[in-house]
Copies of this chain bind each other. A is one copy, B any other.
Amino acid sequence: MIRVGVIGASGYAGAELVRILASHPKVTLTALTCRTDAGQRFDQIYPSMTGWVELVCEAYDAEKLAKSVDVVFTALPHKQPMAIVPELLAKGLRVLDLSADFRFKSAEAYEAHYQPHTARELLDRAVYGLCEVYGNQIRGADLVGNPGCYPTSVLLPLVPIVKADLIDTDLIIADAKSGVSGAGRGASATTHFCHVNESFKAYKVGGHRHTPEMEAILSDVAGRSLHLNFVPHLVPMTRGMETTIYTQPRSGVSIEQIADCLRNFYAGRPFVRLRGETPADTLHVKGTNYCDIGYKIDRRNGRLILMSAIDNLVKGAAGQAVQNMNIMLGLPETEGLGPCPYPM
């Protein structure tokens, strides 16, 4: 059994990691750390898990961690991981970071949208953990920068098509919608039930920090620098993320070519389900590691509309992180990422 720890276990992404790892047949959860709740049993913070997780949340201590775990997940707000990941790696641990700190190859790109990077030397060593795209590099990595939820929902439908040069990369518009768990466990006006219920609105229009992350990967895949328009919205639901993407196919490209491209790219990949012209529905991926993808040409002007649905906490965070761990460790990619989804 591989010994695993979660740093920042009390946040939503951390708790979702605990959930998945507690049932994972090849690992044992041996350490949980959190700051504000240190000293509390984890199942007091998340009573649903009573009977499954008996660990106490401890304060972070690199020495202690190094003795009790082989692999560690850092589920912290950005800026915090870059302060501790160097020592965790130095102690021989494999690290999967769920923040933005190790998602960028370019320190400049990171610093333009976040803050000065204090572990620049690791950026080359880190692999961007979009499993279906960078699987080969993940296999040998000891540091993975796990993708953001929005980038995952935007990149999975787009990467194959951009790679195959089937669309005009000057026109990519991604209109994304997220459940409230994406805003995290912190209580605020944004997450108050009475402000969310019966409310639908955009936020951070044209200014969300996940945008440069999408652009960096798409540019990498396209082989040239590109920009897109990205607008996130908040939906009155707990989990789920749907993204509708508007693009212009290159002249002569048919829907069959789009479909073939996606089918070939995702052949044999267990966590992408192609839905044809059926719109992807967040309800169908709730609690799962799936990304469902639909696609359709709008006949009136030939534009290609792509739709993806993920669970923002699973494929958008903890599930993909465990998928990355499985790949890193040479385990079957799906290990611990079942069971059969709920009907609703």
Contact = CB atoms under 8 A, between A and B. Distances in A.
Contact of A339 (B206, B236, B246, B339): B339
Contacts of A236: 193, 235-237
Interface stretch (A68-76, A98-106, A279-287): A279-287
Contact of A338 (B23, B206, B235, B309): B23
Counting chain A residues whose Cβ lies within 8 A of the other chain, the interface size class is 35 or more
A343 B229 CA distance: 32
Interface in A152-204: 171, 173, 175, 177, 179-181, 185, 187-189, 191-203
A180 B185 CA distance: 18
B279 A201 contact: yes
Contact of A181 (B49, B231, B279, B344): B344
Contact of A229 (B22, B53, B179, B301): B301
Interface string A45-68: 011111111000000000000000
A116 to B, nearest CB: 22
Contacts of A281: 47, 199-201
A194 B229 contact: no
Closest 6 CB pairs of A and B: A23-B339, A206-B298, A199-B283, A15-B343, A201-B281, A202-B279
